[in-house]
Amino acid sequence: MCGIFSIYSKRDIKPNSFINSLKELEYRGYDSAGVAFFEEDNIKILKTTLKIKDLESKLKNNLKTSLIMGHTRWATHGSPSIKNCHPHEYKNIVLVHNGIVENYDELKRHKAIQQNKFKSDTDTEVLAHLISYYLEREGSLVKSVARVGEIIKGSNSFLCLDKKDPKLIVAYKNKTPLYLGIKNNGEFLFSSDLNAMKNDLNNYYFLNDEELIEINNHRIRCFNSKMKIKKMTMVPYASSVVKKKKKLEAEGLITYDEINSQKFLIPKIFNTFDTIKKEIKTIKNFSEIVIIGCGSSFNASMLGKHYFEQISGIPTAVYRPSEFVFFKKKNRNTLYIFMSQSGETADTCDLLETNTGYFKNSLSIVNQSDSRLVRNTRLSLNLDLGIEKGVAATKTFTGQLIYLYSLAIIFSGKKNKKSSDLTSFNKHYMKIFSLQNKIKDIAKKFHKSKNFFILGRNYNYPIALEASLKIKEIAYIHAEASLSSEMKHGPIALLDKNFPIIFLISNNQDSVLKEITNLYEAKSRSNRILLLATSNVIQKLDKNFLKEISLIEIPNVEEDLLPNLFTVPLQYFAYHLAKLNNLSVDQPRNLAKVVTVV
């Protein structure tokens, strides 16, 4: 994970513009941050285990530098401390790194550096030692980086400075993303994502794997791993690629804003039906679907399975990439759908990239059109929801649900919903957002809980999975999702009067009465029930029973669209649990937005 960013300029760089860009990358990791810059030809390094804001105050406003690089860290090797914070240095080498040097331990025993003293617990530091070793022999920084690129394993991008040369920077990229940008004023940028470079950007280049870029005395050159010069085809930057940030609403938190933004985004996605249909028209001849994804993308895929089997009648399996075992099966008739909002998740991308021959018939669904997954799947659909910065997936999860739903309709050969149906859905969908004060009050009854069961069936089971993930990751409360029908097979033993249960009842006519029975079974054992159910299901429930539980009423809409209505209140609920416990909702501990390590 981690974010790296640098500016190389002919003029003095404005600290604010640098810091603002580095902050844009904070979603990739926020355990610590650091910068290195040349001031009057001397290198200066600043580090903090606090947020980037702390660096901001350390970088004086009258800073005079024309080359600066920074890092925001998600710790993999070594705790978040100053000694493990980037930039790392050894002799004349200073570098910031994103990724993992998988063979770092073996490389530490490399004869060239085995006697060296290491100052940190990181895998990164070995890069500085090795580059320094080769630099003493090769005399060229870019060649030394290329030598190191050849012997490291894993996914690695890094920027490297030579303390003796304030006009030189070398970038290396393999598997984990790195962009070069050129601004309208001629400044060169390197960044882990496009969004952090967007201000005044003229054009950009996404480095290919095992490529290096050297900027030396304002001259820029790109090399492959064999040090052959490569032509870079710069992509003109259209400001529309990165959507302007919407004004934050009252609570001022990104996650809250992103939950609210669904009010307008989700109804809009339903209008992309024809575009989706056009973009996938070359998909033919498949009789089964396999969906692959992690975390929230896996949970959305579980609902995708439900849609494909129920609506399109196509058998569907869902895998986490680390558990994918389909290889022995002939796959001529399989459509592989890779789900990932970031398009950069290492587990997912690695599975695809190491087996491209196998996954020929592949489609990705992403929210980042310029990403690893898009480059390696045959077809790709872009959710186009604007960058999601809150670490917890919210709008992208709901967006994924609708794309999967639209695909299921297209694969079934049915027609899109009538616009009058969509208008009616939108009306009900809006109502969900007005429930937030009520949800906040309910959260006040539950925020001290240590555990939750979240129970549901058919389309509500994936929603229960997603709700449990949200509660775990932002409220730090243990939450377990289960099929309500499965409780009696064991988990019910955990229940006592105080065990909190969130019960989601679907209005599926085949199972609704059974689900109600399961609800009563749970209530006989616990006094702490929060029920989410549609108005017509609530009518079937005993009035006295309803007085004894917390209730969120979901408007009646067509069954296939209900998951969207169940999702939003649960996102608000997790959010309020976290807020009431004074937790860092947008940047939960130990997490990062993009998981580029396996």
Question: Active-site residues: which are they?
Answer: 2, 593
User: Binding of ligand F6R at residue 393 (CB under 6 A)?
Assistant: yes
Q: Where in 441-549 does DSSP place strands (E)?
A: 451-456, 478-483, 501-505, 529-534
Q: Mind giving me the DSSP string for 47-92?
A: EESS-HHHHHHHS-TT---SEEEEEEE--SSS-SSTTTSSPEEETT
User: Binding of ligand F6R at residue 122 (CB under 6 A)?
Assistant: no
Q: Which of 48, 122, 140, 342 binds ligand F6R (CB under 6 A)?
A: 342
Kindly state the number of chain residues that form the binding site for ligand F6R, as judged by CB under 6 A.
14
Closest CA to 216 of 401, 420, 422, 8: 8
User: Binding of ligand F6R at residue 341 (CB under 6 A)?
Assistant: yes
CA 451 remoteness from chain centre: 25
Binding region for ligand F6R (CB under 6 A) out of 171-179, 280-288, 293-301, 561-569: 293-301
Q: Considering the complex, state which of residue 399 and residue 456 has its C-beta at the smaller distance from ligand F6R.
A: 399
User: Binding of ligand F6R at residue 473 (CB under 6 A)?
Assistant: yes
Specify whether the CB–CB gap between 256 and 394 falls below 8 A.
Answer: no
Binding region for ligand F6R (CB under 6 A) out of 221-229, 290-298, 374-382, 454-462: 290-298
**CA 72 – CA 85 distance, rounded (Å):** 9
Query: Closest approach of Cβ 567 to ligand F6R, in Å?
Result: 12
Query: Closest approach of Cβ 14 to ligand F6R, in Å?
Result: 32
- Token readout for 458 is 């058919």
The SS3 assignment for 131 reads helix
Q: Considering the complex, state which of residue 276 and residue 294 has its C-beta at the smaller distance from ligand F6R.
A: 294
User: Binding of ligand F6R at residue 371 (CB under 6 A)?
Assistant: no
User: Binding of ligand F6R at residue 345 (CB under 6 A)?
Assistant: yes
Query: Closest approach of Cβ 195 to ligand F6R, in Å?
Result: 14
User: Binding of ligand F6R at residue 596 (CB under 6 A)?
Assistant: no
User: Binding of ligand F6R at residue 70 (CB under 6 A)?
Assistant: no
Summarize the chain as % helix, strand, coil (round to 5): 40, 25, 40
**CA 508 – CA 512 distance, rounded (Å):** 5
Q: Considering the complex, state which of residue 439 and residue 469 has its C-beta at the smaller distance from ligand F6R.
A: 469
Binding region for ligand F6R (CB under 6 A) out of 173-181, 229-237, 240-248, 341-349: 341-349
Q: C-alpha distances in angstroms, 312 versus 285, 288, 332, 339, 506?
A: 14, 10, 19, 19, 20
User: Binding of ligand F6R at residue 3 (CB under 6 A)?
Assistant: no
Cis preceding linkage at 87, omega within 30: yes
| Enclosing H/E stretch for 212 | strand 211-216
Binding mask 505-524 for ligand F6R (x = CB under 6 A): --------------------
Q: Considering the complex, state which of residue 122 and residue 368 has its C-beta at the smaller distance from ligand F6R.
A: 368
**CA 333 – CA 175 distance, rounded (Å):** 29
Query: Closest approach of Cβ 341 to ligand F6R, in Å?
Result: 4
Q: Which of 124, 191, 195, 340 binds ligand F6R (CB under 6 A)?
A: 340
- Token readout for 144 is 């030394």
Sheet holding 529-534, edge to edge: 478-483, 451-456, 501-505, 529-534, 550-554
Dihedral sign computed on CA atoms, order 125, 127, 128, 129: positive
Specify whether the CB–CB gap between 305 and 291 falls below 8 A.
Answer: yes
Query: Closest approach of Cβ 207 to ligand F6R, in Å?
Result: 20
User: Binding of ligand F6R at residue 586 (CB under 6 A)?
Assistant: no
**CA 572 – CA 585 distance, rounded (Å):** 11
For residue 152, give every residue at least 6 positions away whose Cβ sits within 8 Å of its Cβ, in sequence order, or none: 101, 102, 103, 104, 107, 127, 174
The SS3 assignment for 242 reads coil
Q: Considering the complex, state which of residue 224 and residue 369 has its C-beta at the smaller distance from ligand F6R.
A: 369
Closest CA to 352 of 333, 375, 368: 375
User: Binding of ligand F6R at residue 364 (CB under 6 A)?
Assistant: no
* Residue/partner pairs of 276-284 with CB below 8 Å, 24 or more apart: 276/381, 276/403, 276/406, 276/407, 276/410, 277/410, 279/379, 279/381, 280/363, 280/379, 280/381, 280/407, 280/410, 282/379, 283/335, 283/361, 283/363, 283/379
User: Binding of ligand F6R at residue 404 (CB under 6 A)?
Assistant: no
Q: Considering the complex, state which of residue 6 and residue 341 has its C-beta at the smaller distance from ligand F6R.
A: 341
CA 85 remoteness from chain centre: 22
Q: Considering the complex, state which of residue 210 and residue 480 has its C-beta at the smaller distance from ligand F6R.
A: 480
Q: Considering the complex, state which of residue 297 and residue 587 has its C-beta at the smaller distance from ligand F6R.
A: 297
Query: Closest approach of Cβ 171 to ligand F6R, in Å?
Result: 24
Specify whether the CB–CB gap between 198 and 239 falls below 8 A.
Answer: yes
Number of residue whose CB is nearest ligand F6R: 295
User: Binding of ligand F6R at residue 65 (CB under 6 A)?
Assistant: no
DSSP letter for 322, please.
G
**CA 150 – CA 165 distance, rounded (Å):** 24
User: Binding of ligand F6R at residue 398 (CB under 6 A)?
Assistant: no
Binding region for ligand F6R (CB under 6 A) out of 142-150, 222-230, 320-328, 340-348: 340-348
Q: Which of 84, 297, 518, 567 binds ligand F6R (CB under 6 A)?
A: 297
Query: Closest approach of Cβ 103 to ligand F6R, in Å?
Result: 25
Q: Which of 32, 48, 296, 526 binds ligand F6R (CB under 6 A)?
A: 296
Q: Which of 2, 36, 100, 294 binds ligand F6R (CB under 6 A)?
A: 294
- Token readout for 208 is 């290919």
Query: Closest approach of Cβ 157 to ligand F6R, in Å?
Result: 17
Angle of helix 419-433 versus helix 562-580 axis, rounded to 10: 20
Specify whether the CB–CB gap between 479 and 583 falls below 8 A.
Answer: no
Q: Which of 7, 130, 469, 552 binds ligand F6R (CB under 6 A)?
A: 469
Query: Closest approach of Cβ 45 to ligand F6R, in Å?
Result: 31
User: Binding of ligand F6R at residue 302 (CB under 6 A)?
Assistant: no
Binding region for ligand F6R (CB under 6 A) out of 144-152, 250-258, 294-302, 519-527: 294-302
Q: Which of 215, 531, 595, 597 binds ligand F6R (CB under 6 A)?
A: 595
Amino acid at 534: T
Q: Considering the complex, state which of residue 260 and residue 340 has its C-beta at the smaller distance from ligand F6R.
A: 340
Binding region for ligand F6R (CB under 6 A) out of 109-117, 336-344, 442-450, 578-586: 336-344
Residues forming the site for ligand F6R (CB under 6 A)? 294-297, 340-342, 345, 348, 392-393, 469, 473, 595
